[in-house]
Amino acid sequence: MTGDRPLGLVLLEMTLLVVLGPLVTGTIQKIKARLQCRQGAGVLQPYRDLTKLLRKGTVQADTASDFFWLIPVLVLAATVAAGALVPVVRAGPPAVPLGDALLLLGLLALARFLTAVGALDAGGAFGGMGASREMTIAPLVEPVLMMVVFSTAVAAGTTELGALAAQRGTSWLLAWHAADFLGFAAMLVLLPAETGRIPVDNPDTHLELTMLHEGMLLEHSGPGLGCMMLASHTRQIVTLGLVAALFFPVGPADRAGATGLLLGTGAFAAKILVLATFLALVESSYAKLRLFRVPQYLGVGFVCALIALALRIL
């Protein structure tokens, strides 16, 4: 196997994802602002927001239980742990087995479940509404996402993302099969849903007509809100990293040393930038869908994923 990743490198990659997460959000916001002919805030704005939130005091709802206090920490931990399962700078299975794509999706689902539980704790209608909608969309997104993962896993013979990326190798462009195109199409449909962006959700507003994820954060404040924000930045970059690992497993897998690491980081940054630009473009050019149109929208992804899987198996 080319380039097994030692535990230190895995943890380093995880830290890199957490540190770069807000930058991706900042970049998307900047691109959106430019597309709207605005100057927009700097790409570093999410970092400023986070440091400010972490220094603020907390106001907690009087109805909330002790769980409410714990939830931001747990959500952040689950999301960051998911980050440890994505190969960033180098392909290949980790030297110490950690988890595969299913575990990654499971950890993200755990974060979402805890967020929804936290939203119900404050006893306000907004939190409940957000939680209800989020938990409606999530069960529809998850199977499709799993099918996309399956369609590549069947080809590679493993669901471990690092090994999967290594297996598909660097000659990816010539080896793309019809199933890859369809799977990628399904993934593009799912990306806005999984990262909480238009046309499924709107990250910029708390308005009750649009809110899914943001509605659930309403009652969090101060460092707790900071943790939740950092978790959603991390979730976004982890999802993008998952797409990169599944469909663009291009990394200098066989080159060790500092050059290899640098090249890998550069390649990863380029992939993430392309996907982030895609998200910004979609968000600028579409309106948000009505909630009950979202299942139909996801249905397109489902059909693509199903055909991709069928092509692999038949």
Partner 1 sequence: MAACYGAGALLSLLLARWSGRLALGVSHLAAFAGAVVGLGVSLGVLLGAPGRTLTQPLPVLFPFARLSLSVDGLSAYFLFVISLVAVAAAVYGPAYLRAHSPDAALARQAAQGLALNVFLGSMAFLCCAGDALTFLFCWEGMTLASYVLVVSDDRDGENARAGLLYMVMAHGGTALLLVAFLTLTERSGAFDFAALRVAARELDPATRTTLFLLAFGGFAVKAGVVPLHVWLPRAHPAAPSHVSALMSGVMLKVAIYGILRFAFDLLAPVAGPLPFSWGWIVLFVGTTSAVLGVLYALQQHDLKRLLAFHSVENIGIILIGVGLAMILWRQEGVGDALATVALTAALLHTVNHAAFKGLLFLGAGSVLCRTHVRNMEELGGLARRMPWTAGLFLLGAVAISALPPLNGFVSEWLTFQALLAGASRFHGPAGLVIAFSAAMLALTGGLAAACFAKAFGVTFLGRPRTFHAEHAIEAPPSMIAGMVWLGALCVALGVAPGCAMRLLDAPTAELLHGPGASAVVMSQGPLILSTALMPSGTNGTAISMTMVAALLMSLTAIAWVLRRGLQRATRRVAPTWTCGMQPTTRFDYTATAFAKPLRLVFAALYHPRREVTRETAGTPYVVQRIHYAGEIVDLAETHVYHRVEREISALAQALRARSTGRIYGYIGFVLGALFVALLLLGVVYG
> Toward partner 1, which CB reaches closer, 164 or 280?
164
Q: Which residues pair with 5 in a beta bridge?
A: 94
CB of 193 to partner 1, least distance (A): 12
Strands (DSSP E) found in 133-188: none
Which is nearer to partner 1, 71 or 276 (by Cβ)? Answer: 71
Which residues within the stretch 104-163 sit at the binding site for partner 1 (CB under 8 A)? 106-107, 109-110, 112-113, 116-117, 119-125, 127-129, 131-133, 135-136, 138-143, 146-147, 150, 153-154, 156-160, 163
Which residues in 219-278 contact partner 1 (CB under 8 A)? 219, 222-224, 226-227
Q: CB of 38: closest distance to partner 1 in angstroms? A: 30
Taking the least distance from each CB to partner 1, the nearer of 29 and 130 is: 130
* Cβ nearer to partner 1, comparing 30 with 194: 194
Q: Is 128 left (phi over 0), alpha (psi -120 to 50) or beta?
A: alpha
Q: Is the Cβ of residue 129 or residue 273 nearer to partner 1 in the bound state?
A: 129
Residue 106 makes CB contacts below 8 A (sequence gap 6+) with none
From CA 302, how far away is CA 192, in angstroms rounded? 15
Shortest Cβ 216–partner 1 spacing (Å): 11
By the rule CB under 8 A, 84 interacts with partner 1:
yes
Q: Please, are residues 131 and 119 in contact by the beta-carbon 8 Å criterion?
A: yes
Q: How far is CA 154 from CA 151, 162, 184, 288, 307, in A?
A: 6, 15, 15, 34, 14
Q: Which stretch binds partner 1 (CB under 8 A): 32-40, 61-69, 171-179, 196-204?
A: 61-69
Q: Can residue 169 be called a binding residue for partner 1 (CB under 8 A)?
A: no
Give the ranges where 157-177 is alpha helix by DSSP (H).
Answer: 161-168, 172-175
- Report in angstroms how near the CB of residue 285 gets to partner 1 at its nearest: 26
Interacting residue with partner 1 among 8, 36, 37, 62 (CB under 8 A) = 62
Quickly tell me which residue has 């220094």 as its tokens: 55
Dump the DSSP string for 73-112: HHHHHHHHHHHTTS--S--S-BSS----HHHHHHHHHHHH
310 binds partner 1 (CB under 8 A): yes
Cβ of residue 6: shortest distance to partner 1, in angstroms?
13
Segment interacting with partner 1 (CB under 8 A) among 26-34, 178-186, 187-195, 302-310:
302-310
Cβ contacts of residue 136 below 8 Å, gap of 6+?
A: 291
201 binds partner 1 per the rule CB under 8 A: no
Cβ distance to partner 1 smaller for residue 14 or 275: 14
Residue 79 to residue 111: CA distance in whole angstroms: 6
Compute CA distances 140 → 29, 36, 214, 256, 297, whole Å: 27, 32, 19, 41, 11
Task: End-to-end CA distance of the chain: give it in Å, rounded.
Answer: 28
- Asked if 99 interacts with partner 1 (CB under 8 A), we say yes
Stretch near partner 1 under the rule CB under 8 A, chosen from 30-38, 69-77, 185-193, 241-249 = 69-77
Give least dist CB 268 to partner 1, A. 21
Beta carbon nearer to partner 1, 38 or 290: 290
Residues 171-190 that bind partner 1 (CB under 8 A): none
